[in-house]
Amino acid sequence: MAEKAKAVVLLLRLNPEDLKIQKGREDWSFDGVIAYSKICTHVGCPVALYEQQTHHLLCPCHQSTFDVSDGAKVVFGPAKRPLPQPADRRG
């Protein structure tokens, strides 16, 4: 269990129909599987509280809330930037 707490990437699986895919970002998920940094863009606390019905991730430190179905955009709180996705290293 300690290994999960140390992870810096969150891997989530949503219904592909729930994803709001932006033009030019059609490959940001695979069959509803998406990955984001677990590090809040506000002050670096671990984001870990997930609300399944809204697809929101909450940072428990300052309550920044991110919508993982819409590019992890900030929907509430002091964070100014969405959660980043791991870089594509395919060449």
What the chain holds in terms of domains, given with CATH numbers, is: 2-76 (2.102.10.10)
Is the Cα dihedral 67, 69, 72, 73 positive or negative?
A: negative
7-52 confidence digits (pLDDT tens): 788 888 988 888 887 666 666 777 888 889 999 999 989 998 999 9
> 3-state DSSP call for residue 78?
coil
Residue 31 and residue 48: Cα distance in Å, rounded?
Answer: 22
> For the whole prediction, is pTM greater than 0.75?
yes
Nearest to 83 by CA among 18, 75, 91: 75
Nearest to 50 by CA among 61, 39, 60, 42: 60
Instruction: Quote the pLDDT of residue 31.
Output: 81
